[in-house]
Amino acid sequence: MNGTAVFLVLCFGLTCRLAAHGPGKDSDFAGRRVLFIGVDGCRADALQAAMERGLAPQLKMMCESEAGLFTRKLYAGGELGAPTHQPTVSGPGWSSLLTGVWANQHGVTNNRFIGARFQTYAHFMRRIKEVQPHAFCASFADWPPIHDFIADGSRLGDVEFLDVKFTRAPDAARHFVDNPEKDIEVRDAAIETLKGGNPDVMFVYFGQVDEVGHGAIDSRASFSPDSTLYLNAISHVDSHIGELLRAMRARPKFKEENWLVLITTDHGGRGNSHGGDSDEERNIWLAANGARLAREKLQNQPTPQTALVPMIYEHLGIQSRPEWTPAPPPVAEKSAPAPAK
Protein backbone atom coordinates (compact mmCIF):
# COMPACT_ATOMS: atom_id res chain seq x y z
CA MET A 1 0.00 0.00 0.00
CA ASN A 2 1.45 3.41 -0.95
CA GLY A 3 1.32 6.57 1.17
CA THR A 4 -1.79 8.00 -0.48
CA ALA A 5 -3.72 4.76 0.01
CA VAL A 6 -2.74 4.64 3.69
CA PHE A 7 -3.86 8.27 4.09
CA LEU A 8 -7.20 7.56 2.41
CA VAL A 9 -7.83 4.45 4.52
CA LEU A 10 -7.02 6.37 7.72
CA CYS A 11 -9.25 9.28 6.72
CA PHE A 12 -12.11 6.99 5.81
CA GLY A 13 -11.81 5.08 9.10
CA LEU A 14 -11.63 8.30 11.11
CA THR A 15 -14.58 9.89 9.31
CA CYS A 16 -16.75 6.83 9.91
CA ARG A 17 -15.84 6.74 13.59
CA LEU A 18 -16.44 10.43 14.16
CA ALA A 19 -19.69 10.34 12.23
CA ALA A 20 -20.95 7.39 14.22
CA HIS A 21 -19.73 8.49 17.62
CA GLY A 22 -20.36 12.15 18.33
CA PRO A 23 -22.23 13.58 21.30
CA GLY A 24 -25.82 14.82 21.02
CA LYS A 25 -27.71 13.57 17.98
CA ASP A 26 -24.54 12.62 16.16
CA SER A 27 -24.95 8.84 16.26
CA ASP A 28 -26.36 5.95 14.25
CA PHE A 29 -29.45 6.18 16.45
CA ALA A 30 -30.04 9.95 16.09
CA GLY A 31 -28.91 10.52 19.68
CA ARG A 32 -31.05 7.81 21.29
CA ARG A 33 -28.91 6.10 23.96
CA VAL A 34 -29.30 3.51 26.71
CA LEU A 35 -27.95 3.28 30.25
CA PHE A 36 -28.79 -0.17 31.67
CA ILE A 37 -27.78 -0.68 35.31
CA GLY A 38 -27.89 -4.03 37.11
CA VAL A 39 -27.99 -4.32 40.91
CA ASP A 40 -27.46 -7.98 41.79
CA GLY A 41 -29.78 -9.58 44.35
CA CYS A 42 -31.76 -6.47 45.33
CA ARG A 43 -35.11 -7.50 46.83
CA ALA A 44 -38.03 -5.30 45.75
CA ASP A 45 -39.57 -4.61 49.17
CA ALA A 46 -36.11 -3.77 50.54
CA LEU A 47 -35.50 -1.24 47.78
CA GLN A 48 -38.91 0.28 48.41
CA ALA A 49 -38.13 0.46 52.17
CA ALA A 50 -34.78 2.10 51.38
CA MET A 51 -36.49 4.70 49.21
CA GLU A 52 -39.15 5.40 51.86
CA ARG A 53 -36.53 5.79 54.59
CA GLY A 54 -34.38 8.21 52.61
CA LEU A 55 -31.65 5.62 51.97
CA ALA A 56 -32.02 5.58 48.18
CA PRO A 57 -32.56 9.26 47.33
CA GLN A 58 -31.02 9.06 43.86
CA LEU A 59 -33.30 6.28 42.63
CA LYS A 60 -36.29 7.93 44.30
CA MET A 61 -35.57 11.26 42.61
CA MET A 62 -35.09 9.65 39.20
CA CYS A 63 -38.27 7.57 39.49
CA GLU A 64 -40.36 10.52 40.70
CA SER A 65 -39.14 12.87 37.98
CA GLU A 66 -41.37 13.58 34.98
CA ALA A 67 -40.07 10.80 32.73
CA GLY A 68 -39.44 8.42 35.65
CA LEU A 69 -41.04 5.16 36.70
CA PHE A 70 -40.79 2.63 39.53
CA THR A 71 -42.61 -0.68 39.36
CA ARG A 72 -42.56 -3.87 41.39
CA LYS A 73 -44.47 -5.77 38.71
CA LEU A 74 -41.35 -7.26 37.12
CA TYR A 75 -40.61 -10.93 37.72
CA ALA A 76 -37.65 -13.30 37.53
CA GLY A 77 -37.59 -17.10 37.34
CA GLY A 78 -39.65 -17.70 34.18
CA GLU A 79 -43.22 -19.03 34.24
CA LEU A 80 -44.00 -21.47 37.06
CA GLY A 81 -44.87 -24.93 35.74
CA ALA A 82 -43.73 -24.07 32.21
CA PRO A 83 -40.54 -24.91 30.26
CA THR A 84 -39.36 -21.32 30.83
CA HIS A 85 -39.20 -21.85 34.63
CA GLN A 86 -35.67 -21.18 35.88
CA PRO A 87 -33.98 -20.85 39.30
CA THR A 88 -33.76 -17.34 40.77
CA VAL A 89 -29.96 -17.21 40.65
CA SER A 90 -27.58 -14.92 38.78
CA GLY A 91 -26.50 -17.16 35.89
CA PRO A 92 -29.98 -17.64 34.43
CA GLY A 93 -31.14 -14.20 35.64
CA TRP A 94 -28.46 -12.10 33.94
CA SER A 95 -28.61 -14.38 30.90
CA SER A 96 -32.33 -13.53 30.62
CA LEU A 97 -31.78 -9.82 31.20
CA LEU A 98 -29.01 -9.62 28.59
CA THR A 99 -30.49 -11.90 25.92
CA GLY A 100 -34.23 -11.30 26.38
CA VAL A 101 -35.12 -15.01 26.58
CA TRP A 102 -35.59 -17.58 29.38
CA ALA A 103 -33.49 -20.66 30.18
CA ASN A 104 -35.41 -22.93 27.80
CA GLN A 105 -33.76 -20.84 25.08
CA HIS A 106 -30.46 -19.45 26.47
CA GLY A 107 -29.79 -22.80 28.18
CA VAL A 108 -28.40 -21.43 31.48
CA THR A 109 -29.90 -23.03 34.59
CA ASN A 110 -27.13 -22.35 37.12
CA ASN A 111 -23.95 -20.35 37.72
CA ARG A 112 -21.72 -22.86 35.88
CA PHE A 113 -23.24 -21.89 32.52
CA ILE A 114 -23.04 -25.49 31.28
CA GLY A 115 -25.29 -25.84 28.24
CA ALA A 116 -25.36 -22.11 27.47
CA ARG A 117 -26.56 -21.33 23.94
CA PHE A 118 -25.37 -17.75 23.50
CA GLN A 119 -24.30 -18.41 19.92
CA THR A 120 -27.99 -18.82 19.06
CA TYR A 121 -29.52 -16.51 21.71
CA ALA A 122 -26.88 -13.81 21.89
CA HIS A 123 -26.17 -10.86 24.19
CA PHE A 124 -28.28 -7.92 22.98
CA MET A 125 -25.20 -5.79 22.27
CA ARG A 126 -24.00 -8.32 19.70
CA ARG A 127 -27.35 -7.96 17.97
CA ILE A 128 -27.05 -4.17 18.03
CA LYS A 129 -23.62 -4.50 16.39
CA GLU A 130 -25.09 -6.73 13.68
CA VAL A 131 -27.53 -3.95 12.78
CA GLN A 132 -25.18 -0.98 13.38
CA PRO A 133 -21.52 -2.08 13.25
CA HIS A 134 -20.36 1.39 14.37
CA ALA A 135 -22.51 1.48 17.49
CA PHE A 136 -20.52 2.03 20.69
CA CYS A 137 -21.36 -0.66 23.26
CA ALA A 138 -19.76 -0.68 26.71
CA SER A 139 -20.11 -3.13 29.62
CA PHE A 140 -18.80 -2.84 33.20
CA ALA A 141 -19.13 -5.60 35.79
CA ASP A 142 -17.60 -7.03 38.95
CA TRP A 143 -19.17 -10.46 38.51
CA PRO A 144 -16.83 -11.93 35.86
CA PRO A 145 -19.32 -14.42 34.31
CA ILE A 146 -21.21 -11.44 32.84
CA HIS A 147 -18.28 -11.03 30.46
CA ASP A 148 -16.54 -14.44 30.55
CA PHE A 149 -19.68 -16.45 29.77
CA ILE A 150 -22.52 -14.23 28.55
CA ALA A 151 -20.56 -11.71 26.47
CA ASP A 152 -17.67 -13.93 25.32
CA GLY A 153 -20.06 -16.83 24.72
CA SER A 154 -22.05 -14.56 22.39
CA ARG A 155 -19.00 -13.59 20.29
CA LEU A 156 -18.91 -14.73 16.70
CA GLY A 157 -15.49 -16.35 16.49
CA ASP A 158 -12.97 -13.82 17.78
CA VAL A 159 -15.03 -10.80 16.80
CA GLU A 160 -15.38 -8.58 19.88
CA PHE A 161 -18.64 -6.62 19.95
CA LEU A 162 -17.96 -4.71 23.16
CA ASP A 163 -16.03 -1.46 22.67
CA VAL A 164 -15.38 -1.36 26.40
CA LYS A 165 -15.33 -4.51 28.54
CA PHE A 166 -14.33 -3.61 32.09
CA THR A 167 -14.17 -6.53 34.56
CA ARG A 168 -13.18 -6.45 38.21
CA ALA A 169 -13.32 -9.71 40.17
CA PRO A 170 -13.92 -9.54 43.94
CA ASP A 171 -11.58 -11.76 45.95
CA ALA A 172 -13.40 -15.05 46.58
CA ALA A 173 -10.66 -16.13 49.01
CA ARG A 174 -11.49 -13.07 51.14
CA HIS A 175 -15.25 -13.87 51.09
CA PHE A 176 -15.92 -11.02 48.69
CA VAL A 177 -15.24 -8.40 51.39
CA ASP A 178 -13.79 -6.19 48.65
CA ASN A 179 -16.99 -6.25 46.56
CA PRO A 180 -17.90 -2.67 47.64
CA GLU A 181 -14.45 -1.51 46.45
CA LYS A 182 -14.92 -3.28 43.12
CA ASP A 183 -18.28 -1.54 42.71
CA ILE A 184 -16.45 1.80 43.05
CA GLU A 185 -13.99 0.78 40.32
CA VAL A 186 -16.91 -0.24 38.09
CA ARG A 187 -18.66 3.08 38.77
CA ASP A 188 -15.54 5.12 38.02
CA ALA A 189 -14.81 3.31 34.76
CA ALA A 190 -18.42 3.80 33.62
CA ILE A 191 -18.26 7.52 34.51
CA GLU A 192 -15.07 7.81 32.46
CA THR A 193 -16.89 6.44 29.40
CA LEU A 194 -19.93 8.68 29.97
CA LYS A 195 -17.66 11.74 30.23
CA GLY A 196 -15.00 11.03 27.65
CA GLY A 197 -16.78 8.78 25.16
CA ASN A 198 -19.97 8.71 23.16
CA PRO A 199 -21.61 5.45 24.20
CA ASP A 200 -24.78 4.36 22.44
CA VAL A 201 -25.45 1.59 24.94
CA MET A 202 -23.97 0.91 28.36
CA PHE A 203 -24.46 -1.90 30.87
CA VAL A 204 -23.17 -1.31 34.41
CA TYR A 205 -23.34 -4.07 37.03
CA PHE A 206 -22.96 -3.69 40.82
CA GLY A 207 -22.46 -6.80 42.98
CA GLN A 208 -22.33 -5.74 46.64
CA VAL A 209 -26.05 -5.86 47.48
CA ASP A 210 -26.15 -9.60 46.70
CA GLU A 211 -22.95 -10.33 48.61
CA VAL A 212 -24.24 -8.47 51.66
CA GLY A 213 -27.57 -10.36 51.44
CA HIS A 214 -25.68 -13.67 51.46
CA GLY A 215 -23.95 -12.62 54.66
CA ALA A 216 -20.64 -12.97 52.82
CA ILE A 217 -19.31 -9.62 54.00
CA ASP A 218 -21.01 -9.51 57.43
CA SER A 219 -22.83 -12.59 58.77
CA ARG A 220 -25.48 -10.44 60.53
CA ALA A 221 -26.92 -9.29 57.19
CA SER A 222 -29.70 -10.94 55.15
CA PHE A 223 -31.94 -10.40 52.11
CA SER A 224 -34.60 -8.46 54.02
CA PRO A 225 -36.12 -4.99 54.34
CA ASP A 226 -35.43 -5.44 58.09
CA SER A 227 -31.67 -5.84 57.63
CA THR A 228 -29.94 -2.50 58.18
CA LEU A 229 -26.74 -3.82 56.61
CA TYR A 230 -28.64 -4.89 53.49
CA LEU A 231 -30.38 -1.50 53.21
CA ASN A 232 -27.02 0.22 53.66
CA ALA A 233 -25.59 -1.77 50.74
CA ILE A 234 -28.56 -0.61 48.63
CA SER A 235 -27.80 2.92 49.78
CA HIS A 236 -24.15 2.65 48.64
CA VAL A 237 -25.21 1.47 45.20
CA ASP A 238 -27.86 4.21 45.07
CA SER A 239 -25.11 6.81 45.47
CA HIS A 240 -23.12 5.16 42.64
CA ILE A 241 -26.22 5.34 40.46
CA GLY A 242 -26.57 9.01 41.35
CA GLU A 243 -23.04 9.67 40.15
CA LEU A 244 -23.67 7.84 36.87
CA LEU A 245 -26.84 9.87 36.28
CA ARG A 246 -24.96 13.11 37.03
CA ALA A 247 -22.22 12.18 34.56
CA MET A 248 -24.87 11.39 31.96
CA ARG A 249 -26.64 14.73 32.47
CA ALA A 250 -23.31 16.58 32.35
CA ARG A 251 -22.57 15.39 28.81
CA PRO A 252 -21.84 18.31 26.47
CA LYS A 253 -24.96 17.91 24.34
CA PHE A 254 -27.13 16.06 26.84
CA LYS A 255 -30.23 18.11 25.98
CA GLU A 256 -30.06 16.85 22.39
CA GLU A 257 -29.64 13.25 23.51
CA ASN A 258 -32.51 10.89 24.24
CA TRP A 259 -31.50 8.51 27.03
CA LEU A 260 -33.45 5.48 28.19
CA VAL A 261 -32.33 4.53 31.70
CA LEU A 262 -33.26 1.04 32.92
CA ILE A 263 -32.25 -0.17 36.39
CA THR A 264 -33.19 -3.60 37.69
CA THR A 265 -32.05 -6.72 39.52
CA ASP A 266 -31.72 -10.39 38.57
CA HIS A 267 -33.60 -11.84 41.59
CA GLY A 268 -34.58 -11.16 45.19
CA GLY A 269 -33.79 -13.40 48.17
CA ARG A 270 -34.85 -14.61 51.62
CA GLY A 271 -32.71 -15.29 54.68
CA ASN A 272 -29.20 -15.59 53.27
CA SER A 273 -30.03 -17.24 49.96
CA HIS A 274 -32.15 -17.37 46.84
CA GLY A 275 -32.85 -19.67 43.92
CA GLY A 276 -36.41 -20.76 44.77
CA ASP A 277 -39.91 -19.78 43.69
CA SER A 278 -41.03 -17.61 46.62
CA ASP A 279 -42.46 -14.14 45.98
CA GLU A 280 -39.46 -12.64 47.79
CA GLU A 281 -37.15 -14.26 45.21
CA ARG A 282 -39.27 -13.95 42.05
CA ASN A 283 -40.81 -10.51 42.45
CA ILE A 284 -38.33 -7.90 41.30
CA TRP A 285 -38.51 -4.26 40.18
CA LEU A 286 -37.69 -1.78 37.48
CA ALA A 287 -36.59 1.81 37.99
CA ALA A 288 -36.61 3.64 34.69
CA ASN A 289 -36.45 7.00 33.03
CA GLY A 290 -37.39 7.63 29.44
CA ALA A 291 -39.80 9.73 27.44
CA ARG A 292 -41.64 6.84 25.81
CA LEU A 293 -41.96 4.22 28.55
CA ALA A 294 -45.12 2.09 28.51
CA ARG A 295 -45.96 3.50 31.94
CA GLU A 296 -49.49 2.10 32.39
CA LYS A 297 -48.53 -1.38 31.33
CA LEU A 298 -45.33 -1.57 33.37
CA GLN A 299 -47.07 -0.31 36.50
CA ASN A 300 -50.10 -2.57 36.25
CA GLN A 301 -49.22 -5.78 34.41
CA PRO A 302 -46.76 -8.46 35.52
CA THR A 303 -43.79 -8.08 33.19
CA PRO A 304 -41.08 -10.71 32.66
CA GLN A 305 -37.46 -9.63 33.05
CA THR A 306 -37.01 -10.79 29.45
CA ALA A 307 -39.01 -7.72 28.34
CA LEU A 308 -36.14 -5.27 28.88
CA VAL A 309 -34.09 -6.22 25.81
CA PRO A 310 -37.07 -5.59 23.47
CA MET A 311 -37.57 -2.22 25.21
CA ILE A 312 -33.94 -1.34 24.41
CA TYR A 313 -34.34 -2.35 20.76
CA GLU A 314 -37.52 -0.31 20.50
CA HIS A 315 -35.87 2.77 21.97
CA LEU A 316 -32.97 2.53 19.50
CA GLY A 317 -35.32 1.86 16.59
CA ILE A 318 -33.99 -1.65 16.01
CA GLN A 319 -36.35 -4.23 14.58
CA SER A 320 -35.83 -7.58 16.34
CA ARG A 321 -35.29 -10.37 13.80
CA PRO A 322 -36.99 -13.78 14.08
CA GLU A 323 -33.61 -15.54 13.77
CA TRP A 324 -32.43 -13.84 16.99
CA THR A 325 -34.91 -15.85 19.07
CA PRO A 326 -35.64 -19.17 17.32
CA ALA A 327 -37.99 -21.68 18.96
CA PRO A 328 -36.37 -23.41 21.96
CA PRO A 329 -34.70 -26.80 21.50
CA PRO A 330 -36.09 -29.86 23.37
CA VAL A 331 -35.76 -29.69 27.17
CA ALA A 332 -32.13 -30.25 28.27
CA GLU A 333 -31.00 -32.59 31.09
CA LYS A 334 -30.47 -31.13 34.53
CA SER A 335 -26.85 -30.43 35.53
CA ALA A 336 -25.22 -30.58 38.97
CA PRO A 337 -25.96 -27.87 41.55
CA ALA A 338 -23.64 -24.88 41.30
CA PRO A 339 -22.42 -22.29 43.81
CA ALA A 340 -24.82 -19.48 44.69
CA LYS A 341 -24.49 -15.84 43.70
We find the least distance from the C-beta atom of residue 238 to Zn ion, in angstroms, to be 18
41 binds Zn ion (CB under 5 A): yes
Binding-site member from 36, 39, 40, 241 for Zn ion (CB under 5 A): 40
- Selected range binding Zn ion among 17-25, 264-272, 281-289, 325-333, rule: CB under 5 A: 264-272
- Selected range binding Zn ion among 11-19, 69-77, 172-180, 258-266, rule: CB under 5 A: 258-266
269 binds Zn ion (CB under 5 A): no
183 binds Zn ion (CB under 5 A): no
Query: Which residues, 10 to 39, sit near Zn ion by CB under 5 A?
Result: none
Q: What is the distance between the alpha carbons of residues 88 and 78, in angstroms, rounded to a whole number? A: 9
Integer CA distances (angstroms), 157 to 111, 118, 154, 160, 221, in order: 23, 12, 9, 8, 43
Q: Which residue of the chain is nearest Zn ion when measured via CB?
A: 90
Query: Which residues, 86 to 105, sit near Zn ion by CB under 5 A?
Result: 90
- Selected range binding Zn ion among 208-216, 226-234, 301-309, 330-338, rule: CB under 5 A: 208-216
> To 10 degrees, what angle do helices 308-316 and 124-131 make?
20
Q: How many Cβ atoms are within 10 Å of 32's Cβ, its own excluded?
A: 22
Q: What is the distance between the alpha carbons of residues 40 and 246, in angstroms, rounded to a whole number? A: 22
Identify which of residues 42 and 312 has a Cβ nearer to Zn ion in the complex: 42
266 binds Zn ion (CB under 5 A): yes
- Selected range binding Zn ion among 196-204, 245-253, 262-270, 316-324, rule: CB under 5 A: 262-270
Does residue 267 contact residue 89 with C-beta atoms inside 8 Å?
yes
Rg from Cα positions in the chain: 20
Q: Is 139 helix (H, G, I), strand (E, B) or coil?
A: strand
Query: What residues contact residue 314 under an 8 Å CB cut-off, 6+ apart?
Result: none
Of 57, 109, 48, nearest to 78 by C-alpha is 109
Identify which of residues 127 and 240 has a Cβ nearer to Zn ion in the complex: 240
* Interface with Zn ion: number of residues (CB under 5 A): 5
Q: Which spans of this chain sit near Zn ion (rule: CB under 5 A)? A: 40-41, 90, 210, 266
